[in-house]
Structure 1
Amino acid sequence: MNCCLFRYGQRPGLQVNNRIKSIQNFFKHLILWSSCFFLFCIFSPSAQATIGESLQLTEGDALTISAESLSYFITENLYIAEGSVEITYRTARLLADRVEFHELTGDALALGNVVYQEGLETVTADRAEFNFDQDRGMIYSGDLTLEDDHYLTGREIEKIGEKTYLIRKGSYTACNSPRPAWEFKSWRAKVEEEKYLQSWHTVGFVKGIPIIYFPYFFFPIKSERQTGLLVPDIGNSTTNGFSVGTQFFWVITKSQDATFGHTYYTERGHKFDLEYRYIYSSETEGTFIGQFIKDKSDLTQKKRLEWYHQQGLPYSIIGRVNLDWTSDDAFDEDFSTNLDERSNRKLNSNVSFTRNFSQHSILLVFNRVDDLQEDSEDRADQRFPELTVTSQKQQIFGSPLYIQQTTKMSYLKREGKKSEELEFGRLDIQPTLSLPWNVLGQALTITPELQLRETYYTRNAETAMDQSLGAESTHREYYIASLGVSGPKFNRIFDFGANHRVQKMKHLIEPSLSFTYRPGIDENEYPKFDSIDRVGSINRSRNVNYGVTQRLLLKRVTQTDWTRFKEGEEELYVDELATETKELASFNISQSYDFEKDKENFSDITTSLNVTPFDNYRFTVGATYNIYVDSFTQTNVTFNGTVREVFDFNVNWRRSASLKRENDELKINQIYRFLDVSTSVTLFDRLGLSYRGRFNLEEHKRIEDNFGLTYTGQCWDLTGSYVEQLVNDETDRGFHILLELKHLGKLFDIEG
């Protein structure tokens, strides 16, 4: 065997620019390497020729050619390498049984077990023909393995242009298996680099069984978005009947795209959809969604519009538009498949402008909230406009005194029931002064605080409800004074030794005490629009709130360093290990006492417990206890975790009780109990099962049952779900089946 190594000068790099580039490189580099064969004539007794002018390699890169036989025929200008031919250059490698090259015509031929490899891409063939001068070529009985699991085969693969190839009697799949889970076989196919693969007379196979036939079929062969039809959606429901939906996806520019949709419901008619998305910059983006249907069930036209837009403006101002409008209050309930959307009974539209500073922010908003509940009589609350200026807590001229404030200037209007209509202007100014004082270092902090409030109304309660009356302005002054004490803090540290992962544990106790005074105020003369108009009661309030928080903190070695230390892979000392602080558990209990009440002075006792025994598990309990009815009025228990990254679970149990007064005695009126359970399990790294259930335990009703199944194959994904939901005391059932093929996307999507 002859084996020679040459070093040449700088030459254009062999780079793979995309998935199809390996084919182009195969033809180009094989002819280039073949033209190097005459170099061996220098070392062969029969060699008579000089180096061909078409070869331009200089020192710098290593080119290795080996073969059992190397020959040159002068009269035919023919170079031949035979027997285990191997040519390597940079990251590329060519193998063949025989390689021939005609220097004058530029024709080259590789025969027998032809393999071209570069990076992750591979071409194999029985025979390859190509011409370097014309940039054309052909491989026979070839296989193309491209980057990111693209597998193409063809009895003939012909290069007809710089970026265009024809495949005859070939196949395509993304499955890396001798017997692929799916593949498409076609009589003829055309591949356009960075564009599409088109095929004629194509048959889709599943495990070798023909399933579907396409006279003409095409799909994109690059990762960027592509304009085209999406796979139809098929569904069925008790109210809308059988449905078929089609969508057309349009790539307008790199920063814009749109989806046009049409769905036919056998019971409702034709529904048309438009979704337009755009991103112009990091601060300017948006989505517009429009839906229209001429409902044949009641012969009405129904429309739904949603638009979110964010716009960067001069002077660092951010503008936002959020349009939420429908011509029919039941539109989402009838046509949405999302439970939250179907049960939502409010529409919230607004336009806002925000400017943030280091310590301040300004927000100007125009807002309208429509109530869709049947008994609301089309109630709508409007803020046209509302200007909010907020200042964070900051020192006053370097003094120990701190100030923060919120100012709102609003013009408010409520439409709906005649008895609830309102229209008035309001200015609310709310500064808060505080003077924190640290005692005993930072173990004890005493903070007196004074919250001042001045509110001006352009109309009082009577004239705000009746615009025909002359406006009578009014104003309100109010304040809240408080004194807070945090500490003293007590702690004890338990030392477990440096040879344990948990080296220390700190038990921390933090008591707190505060006193709050609220003067009485008569608010009957002020219009009632939101919480700003309800700051107190007619009687003064003097409350003391007391509580204590306990925490368990662990100082431990990080998992990475502890594993290295235990396995002894390298010599480590205990004091060199990285450590971290973790909260193992916390418990808080608090209550307040009202000095002004004649009875029932004590508030509910509020408690919360959080325990994280392991990194993957968390247990929380929150409870409110009323001492006068001797019962918990609010209880919330949650337990969630992950078992070996295979099993996830979340369990939440809630109980609440409403109270009523009978014969001047407080009693429990009604009890509500709910249970939410969600879990998922992964089997064999591919199969996933999930379940979510929501239950009304008190009324013995199932609010939702959602069963899910996912299978993730090497080249395909199957997702299925079955849902039963309680909507307006009626059970709504549905299913969803989605099959996606790798690189091709959604093959079919059925809902019912």
Structure 2
Amino acid sequence: MTLSHTIPRALPPRRLLAVAAALALFGGPVEAQTAAPEAAAPAAPTSAAGVSSCPLGAFHCPARPESFALCRPNALLEFYDPTLPRDAALRETSDTVVDAAHVDSSNRAVYRLSGNVRIERADQLLRGDRIDYNDTTTDYDAQGNVRYQEAGELLSADRLRGNTQANRGVAENVRYQLLQSRGNGTAARGELLDAQRSRYNLVSYSTCDVGHHLWEVRAKSLEIDKSTGVGKAHGATMRFADVPFLYLPYFTFPVDNRRKSGFLYPTFGSSNRSGTMFAIPYYLNLAPNYDATIEPRIYTQRGAMLAGEFRYLVPGTRGQLNFEYLPNDHGDNSSDADPTKGNDRWLLKYGDATRLWGPWSFTTSINRASDRSYLRDFGNDLYTSSIGTLASNAYIRGRGNWWSATFGADSYQNVDPYLPDTVVQYKRWPRATLGMDVPITRWLKFGMDSEAVAFRKENAIEGNRLDLYPYVDADFRGAAWFVRPKLAYRYTAYELSGNYATYGYRGPLSTTQVSPFGDRTPSRALPIASLDTGLVFERATSLFGTTYTQTLEPRLYYLYVPYRNQDDLPLFDTRRMSFDYWQLFSPNQFSGADRQMNANDLTAALTTRLLDDDGVERLSASIGQIHYFAPQRVQLPNSATTAAAPTDWTRSDYVAELGVQLTERWRLNSAYQWSPNTRQTDLGTLGLQRRIGADGIFNFSYRYRRNYVEQYDASAIYPISERWRLLGRWVYSVRDQRTVEALAGVEYDSCCVALRVVGRHYVVASGPVAERGRTNNALMFELVFKGLGAFNGQTEDVLRRGILGYQ
């Protein structure tokens, strides 16, 4: 017969169930939260979700979250009961229901249940062929096909016995599955030593489907201590496709969210400059608010290196220190200009952000290398190895409702072995800024941009500069129009170093040259006036059967800046900015304060847009041109002492821009500049991005700038199945008539493993003439064990930089 009875007190099965739960691998009992059966195998993401995760045209996409969508939908232990409640909070208020074919209570202290025994309370369910429980001693013994389920885990064993009062228990031939973290495995024997400690023999762990472990960790013995949050494994082997590839006789690991000291995955790589590299990082959990990582490395061509990272977080302050040190470099010199053989080589990076008081904070970023070839020799990716300048700075910053201020310094280091130090920017040592934006009325405001800075650089003219830029502007607008007048005054003054007369714009003068700096304290002062006006017209229209709102937006911008001779002013941080659409409305074509262009210009521009019913811009097209009523007399020097001649143009380039995204699948961007003065194209760009399925993409771009560059760039991620994706990129230079960079790779994704293999071929961009055009090759791979992390992770950053929209 079947016995069905509600037992509120006599049999304390809640404790019995907790003991069963405690024999899961991570030493429960598990405080589970609501978990659906699908938690073990989430549904695959839809196309819409894949598209919306990274907008079209985004330069860099966030890393794709770890997904188990390719796991088997019902990869659960066979005794899973989907009808149980999924809320562990119901346990305290729920009764315990016991069902059994037979019950023997002749001994009032011992309950003997047999025949498909079922003990259920809320989300907990314990089943077995026979369960004996001593109500006096709280000993229990469950035998034969013991199965336990709760919202967070499943557990089976041949036999389960112990004592609930002492929190002791022994299970034999254990299988377990953690539903929310997907961990599952087996153990020949599991022991619950007390409420905090458990021990297992011949145990395994994986996040793959039950019974189909592509990767697995096996250990001869495993001990878990919940009070310390530490697990200890002896004789552990990590296997891939049932082939052991990593053996650790002993290691410790965290079993909860507490950090734990221990070894991380080893990494290795290869380059033609430093040989094969192998590294094993070790993580140090020093305190809750600071930690460190020590990483010994071996470079076969250069020797042993010690690298490390230190992070800290205290109230109001956070920071990070990275260092690398290699004594007595054994390798060949990287370049004749920067010999490194036999030298100690190092790299230092330090960043800190500290809140001081009120609106004030302190930030710093220090980046220094031992020599100019360091990043080229030891950069672990092509982006790092191509950096030419390391920037360092330290600033105190403050901000209020209508003001902002900074005080600090900037320094730069040349890390390109083939370029002279003269190309490095001036050190700004020190530098102070003050910005103001004070509303006077609803439509009128007063503002000011000011800067005081000292410029320092060896073998170049040095000095101090004060730049004051107060202005008053107004903003009158209606629903379909705006008028923005602005009146500004710019005053810039210098105090040059004592030997200023021995330098020209580009360094020391020869004995036959005359310095352009005739005054030690030159200055410049001039007014700047502008008027920006525009109209906005709208109408309803349709395109390809879809209704849109089309706008027509004419705009006029007038700028007046009187001419001032600035040939006696040095060039500390000023460059001519690239001409583009937004330069049509800029008061200065030069960056920095050393040059202020003269102007008597009128810009005419026209923009049209298509907006869908949700207000999303689907198309934008603009064209504009500047009409010069006076020649541009302020020019940068074309020699050490002489400025370039004024232009006699009456019109600027025609500048046109186009952006189209009529669907969520493709986007097109284009820009074009044509000069009516030379009757030549100065710039042309075209970019096309097309999504392929849920996780594929195709990019094509063309870049042309007259006398500088002409390149084609194509890249793609092509999904050939839900598990396999092909990756590729090709960059071709028309001017050089050769491939600048080629990338090809393959990506495999499965339930619990992802694999990427990428090969790159690229041209050395800089260096002596004999080395320019030489090619380098790189082969990188990354193996991701889902739930544990990436082994030899090298490819993801490279792919994200190289393929627009990679995720």
What corresponds to 2:713 in structure 1? 676
Deviation at 1:245, TM superposition (A): 1.6
Checking the alignment, whether the CA contact within 8 Å between 1:182 and 1:207 is kept in structure 2 is: yes
- Secondary structure of the corresponding residue to residue 358 of structure 2: helix
Among 636, 653, 657, the alignment partner of 1:608 is: 657
Deviation at 1:600, TM superposition (A): 2.9
Deviation at 1:433, TM superposition (A): 1.9
Aligned counterparts of 1:17 and 1:447: Cα–Cα separation in 2: 75
Aligned counterparts of 2:570 and 2:445: Cα–Cα separation in 1: 32
What corresponds to 1:639 in structure 2? 688
Deviation at 1:689, TM superposition (A): 2.6
Per-residue CA distance 1:76-122 (angstroms, 9 max, x = gap)? 83321111111111221111111112334332111111111111211
Among 463, 485, 492, the alignment partner of 2:539 is: 492
- Secondary structure of the corresponding residue to residue 628 of structure 1: coil
Q: Which amino acid aligns with 2:470?
A: P
Counterpart mapping for 1:597-746 below 5 A: 597=631, 599-657=648-706, 670=707, 672-727=709-764, 728=766, 729-746=773-790
- Secondary structure of the corresponding residue to residue 332 of structure 1: helix
Q: Which amino acid aligns with 2:151?
A: G
What corresponds to 2:470 in structure 1? 431
Corresponding position: 1:382 with 2:433: no
What corresponds to 1:391 in structure 2? 436
Deviation at 1:5, TM superposition (A): 2.3
What corresponds to 2:142 in structure 1? 110
Among 599, 605, 612, the alignment partner of 1:554 is: 612
Checking the alignment, whether the CA contact within 8 Å between 1:462 and 1:525 is kept in structure 2 is: no
What corresponds to 2:96 in structure 1? 63
Q: Which amino acid aligns with 1:675?
A: Y
Checking the alignment, whether the CA contact within 8 Å between 1:484 and 1:515 is kept in structure 2 is: yes
Aligned counterparts of 1:59 and 1:347: Cα–Cα separation in 2: 61
What corresponds to 2:109 in structure 1? 77
Aligned counterparts of 2:676 and 2:208: Cα–Cα separation in 1: 66
Checking the alignment, whether the CA contact within 8 Å between 1:84 and 1:96 is kept in structure 2 is: yes
The answer for unaligned runs of 5 or more in structure 2 is 32-90, 332-340, 509-516, 575-591, 632-646, 767-772, 799-807
- Secondary structure of the corresponding residue to residue 645 of structure 1: coil
Q: Name the one with the larger strand percent.
A: 1
Deviation at 1:285, TM superposition (A): 1.5
The 3 A distance-change label for structure 1 pair 86 and 105 is same
Deviation at 1:533, TM superposition (A): 4.2
Q: Which amino acid aligns with 1:546?
A: A
Deviation at 1:8, TM superposition (A): 6.5
What is the TM-score when the length of structure 2 is the normalising length? 0.76
Counterpart mapping for 1:158-557 below 5 A: 158-193=191-226, 195-208=229-242, 214-216=248-250, 218-281=252-315, 283-293=316-326, 294-297=328-331, 298-373=341-416, 374-377=418-421, 379=424, 381-392=426-437, 394-396=438-440, 398=441, 400-415=443-458, 418=459, 420-422=460-462, 424-438=463-477, 441-459=478-496, 463=500, 472-487=520-535, 489-494=536-541, 502=546, 504-531=547-574, 532-536=592-596, 541-555=599-613
Checking the alignment, whether the CA contact within 8 Å between 2:229 and 2:258 is kept in structure 1 is: no
The 3 A distance-change label for structure 1 pair 612 and 356 is same
Aligned counterparts of 1:521 and 1:586: Cα–Cα separation in 2: 38
What corresponds to 1:137 in structure 2? 169
Corresponding position: 1:4 with 2:5: yes
Checking the alignment, whether the CA contact within 8 Å between 2:22 and 2:30 is kept in structure 1 is: no
Checking the alignment, whether the CA contact within 8 Å between 1:295 and 1:302 is kept in structure 2 is: yes
What corresponds to 1:98 in structure 2? 130
Counterpart mapping for 1:18-33 below 5 A: 22=24
Deviation at 1:350, TM superposition (A): 0.7
Among 149, 157, 161, the alignment partner of 2:182 is: 149
Aligned counterparts of 2:252 and 2:716: Cα–Cα separation in 1: 40
The 3 A distance-change label for structure 1 pair 121 and 390 is same
**What count of residue pairs does the alignment treat as equivalent?**
668
Deviation at 1:333, TM superposition (A): 0.7
What corresponds to 1:37 in structure 2? none
Aligned counterparts of 1:501 and 1:63: Cα–Cα separation in 2: 63
Aligned counterparts of 1:223 and 1:342: Cα–Cα separation in 2: 36
Checking the alignment, whether the CA contact within 8 Å between 2:550 and 2:610 is kept in structure 1 is: yes
- Secondary structure of the corresponding residue to residue 62 of structure 1: coil
- Secondary structure of the corresponding residue to residue 535 of structure 1: coil
Per-residue CA distance 1:570-600 (angstroms, 9 max, x = gap)? xxxxxxxxxx212121111101111224843
Aligned counterparts of 2:167 and 2:264: Cα–Cα separation in 1: 36
Aligned counterparts of 2:213 and 2:502: Cα–Cα separation in 1: 73
Q: Which amino acid aligns with 1:680?
A: I
What corresponds to 1:36 in structure 2? none
Aligned counterparts of 2:266 and 2:92: Cα–Cα separation in 1: 58
The 3 A distance-change label for structure 1 pair 12 and 362 is farther
Checking the alignment, whether the CA contact within 8 Å between 2:266 and 2:279 is kept in structure 1 is: yes
The 3 A distance-change label for structure 1 pair 81 and 13 is closer
Checking the alignment, whether the CA contact within 8 Å between 2:323 and 2:348 is kept in structure 1 is: yes
Per-residue CA distance 1:113-155 (angstroms, 9 max, x = gap)? 1111111211111111111233211111221223412223222
Q: Which amino acid aligns with 1:163?
A: Q
Q: Which amino acid aligns with 2:168?
A: R
Q: Which amino acid aligns with 1:626?
A: S
- Secondary structure of the corresponding residue to residue 105 of structure 2: strand
Corresponding position: 1:582 with 2:642: no
Aligned counterparts of 1:92 and 1:535: Cα–Cα separation in 2: 77
Deviation at 1:606, TM superposition (A): 0.3
- Secondary structure of the corresponding residue to residue 384 of structure 2: helix
Aligned counterparts of 1:8 and 1:676: Cα–Cα separation in 2: 75
Checking the alignment, whether the CA contact within 8 Å between 2:30 and 2:152 is kept in structure 1 is: no
The answer for unaligned runs of 5 or more in structure 1 is 29-57, 556-579, 658-669
Aligned counterparts of 1:673 and 1:27: Cα–Cα separation in 2: 62
The 3 A distance-change label for structure 1 pair 708 and 312 is farther
Per-residue CA distance 1:487-540 (angstroms, 9 max, x = gap)? 2x33222389xxx995x4222111111222221111133332123443346xx5
- Secondary structure of the corresponding residue to residue 334 of structure 1: helix
Checking the alignment, whether the CA contact within 8 Å between 2:445 and 2:473 is kept in structure 1 is: yes
- Secondary structure of the corresponding residue to residue 94 of structure 2: strand
Aligned counterparts of 1:361 and 1:103: Cα–Cα separation in 2: 73
What corresponds to 2:156 in structure 1? 124
What corresponds to 1:49 in structure 2? none
Aligned counterparts of 2:530 and 2:792: Cα–Cα separation in 1: 63
Aligned counterparts of 2:717 and 2:786: Cα–Cα separation in 1: 24
The 3 A distance-change label for structure 1 pair 521 and 19 is farther
Q: Which amino acid aligns with 2:624?
A: S
What is the TM-score when the length of structure 1 is the normalising length? 0.82
